[in-house]
Structure 1
Amino acid sequence: MLINADFSLRAVVAPSQYQWVRSPQSGVERVMLDRVGGEKARATSIVRYEPGSYFPRHHHPGGEEILVLAGTFSEGDAHYPAGWYMRSPPDSSHQPFSEEGAVIFVKLRQMSESERRSVRINTRDSSLWVAEHGRESCPLFEGPGEQVSMERLTPGSLVFNGFVDGAEMLVVEGSLSEGEQRYDCGSWIRLPPGHYPGFVAGNAGATIYLKIGHLAMSHRP
């Protein structure tokens, strides 16, 4: 299966375009944002857990990255409400579930084989945010060719300054605009390397998940 699989092209999925698809597990649905492969795929998705739903224990050969958008996502005795960011390295395993229901942003099989560090960050902890260059940033991860953060932008402020070596954004709060185009909360945007001076925060500002650098070497398989 190929969905937005040509990484040399811009890809956008707005909330109005969400197509919820049942997963193999009862009570769990997903919106496929990009995908290369079948059920076991390099994939980026929005996943929705109904209250009381779960997945059996399983491994992630290429790692898993999660941002909790709503509700509470759980693993064993650990519970992660909205705002938590997680990275589980290649060959890790878990048995996820949600008692109250949850919506999460998930990236699968997109980590370096050398990555071994587990990351758990509460992005709603104000002490983790740093003010710089007229914006606030919450660093989440930095590795070879990849930098991940949450960015809090004031109204009208630029998202990018200069050349971008590929970028991926999810609008978590507020909105972005690019000329006449508006990207509301829930919009997912993937940009190949280039210059994007037109992206600015909307009238109420914006909070976005931002990953840069990881698309520089990507290509259509």
Structure 2
Amino acid sequence: MLNMDFSQSLTLGYQADRWQPSPVAGVWRYPLEREAAEHGHVTSLVRFQPGAVFTEHEHPLGEEFWVLEGTFSDENGDYEAGSYVRHPPGSRHQAFSRSGCVIFVKLNQFNDADREFRVVREDQGLWLTGDHGFRRLSLHRYGGVNTSLLEFSEGGRFPACCYRAGLEILVLEGQLDDGRQLYGPLSWLRLAPSSVPELIASGHTRLWVRTGHLAGVAPASQAG
């Protein structure tokens, strides 16, 4: 198991030497949280070298991914950088990349009743702009769990409302400052429901964000 205590906040800056080869030639993984080596709950970065093919596999409790670089492909189509894709529980596919790609992927973390196949492309989505210095693109909502992109054009304070029931962030561009450390591109933060840090986006910053998914997790002082 890796980083599976959800009652504890976790912040990981990107380190290029943490990539690991997968069992499939040409496919590399950068693990963030993992229940077991080849099954169960997984969050990771995955890199396909040009021409790499990942054999057909099933997603017992779903798969979702965000394409960071290049083009990811399967039987359903080609997904360029800036695409968000959800495969529902029980789905199967064979993944490949003709020219190479990097994706952020989460496996086996769906509600079993969430059966929607979904594709959102950031250049075609409906971005909403509010009064808080950022704009937001909703990627998916189900059962109190919200997945979005946030974009700060000139920096600003991360919205405090998003800390409720846990918070997960992947920095896509720019950086976040929590007062102790700066988190640049590909940094990953998972903040427990009990934590309320002060996060400041510096300059132009883009974030993949999930909220609500840790609603049932007890605070660290109560866990165990």
CA distance in 2, matches of 1:218, 1:17: 31
Q: Match for 1:188: what amino acid?
A: W
Q: Is the 8 A contact 1:67 1:83 kept in 2?
A: yes
Q: Structure 1 residue 111: deviation in Å?
A: 0.2
User: Percent identity between the aligned chains?
Assistant: 37
What displacement does 1:65 show?
Answer: 0.8
Structure 1 112/187 Cα, relative in aligned 2: closer, same or farther at 3 Å? same
Partner amino acid, structure 2, of 1:200:
I
Greater strand share, 1 or 2? 1
**Could you say which residue in structure 2 is the equivalent of 1:169?**
169
TM-score (norm 1): 0.93
Q: 1:216 Cα shift?
A: 1.8
Distance 1:78 1:17 in 2: 29
2:33 alignment partner in structure 1: 34
Report deviation, 1:60: 0.5
Shift, 1:145, TM fit = 2.8
CA–CA separation in structure 1 for the residues paired with 2:32 and 2:17:
9
Contact 1:192 1:216 in 2 (8 A): no
Q: 1:112–1:77: structure 2 CA closer, same or farther, 3 Å change rule? A: closer
Indicate the SS of the match to 1:194. coil
Amino acid at match of 1:176: L
Give the Cα separation in 2 of the matches to 1:94 and 1:138.
27
Separation (CA, whole Å) in 2 of partners of 1:171 and 1:198: 16
- Given residue 33 of structure 1, which amino acid in structure 2 is its aligned partner? L
Deviations 1:155-206, CA, capped at 9 Å, x for gaps:
341112245210100000111111141000110100000353510101x221
Q: Which letter does structure 2 place at the counterpart of 1:132? A: G
Q: Which amino acid aligns with 1:122?
A: R
TM-score, normalised relative to structure 2: 0.91
Task: Describe the shift of the 1:43–1:218 C-alpha distance in structure 2 as closer, same or farther (beyond 3 A).
Answer: farther
Q: State how 1:18-57 maps to structure 2 within 5 Å.
A: 19-57=18-56
Q: Cα offset for 1:64?
A: 0.1
Aligned to 1:109: 108
1:118 counterpart = 2:142 = no
Report 1:200-211 matches (<5 A): 200-202=200-202, 204-211=203-210
- For residues 103 and 64 of structure 1, the distance between their equivalents in structure 2, rounded to whole angstroms, comes to 15
Other-structure match for 1:132: 130
Q: What is the CA RMSD across the aligned residues, in angstroms?
A: 1.8
State whether residues 7 and 218 of structure 1, in contact with CA within 8 Å, keep that contact through their aligned partners in structure 2: yes
CA distance in 2, matches of 1:195, 1:59: 35
Aligned residue pairs total 218
Q: Which runs of 5+ in 2 are unaligned?
A: none
Alignment of 1:1-221 (within 5 A): 2-16=1-15, 19-76=18-75, 78-125=77-124, 127-134=125-132, 135-162=134-161, 163-202=163-202, 204-218=203-217
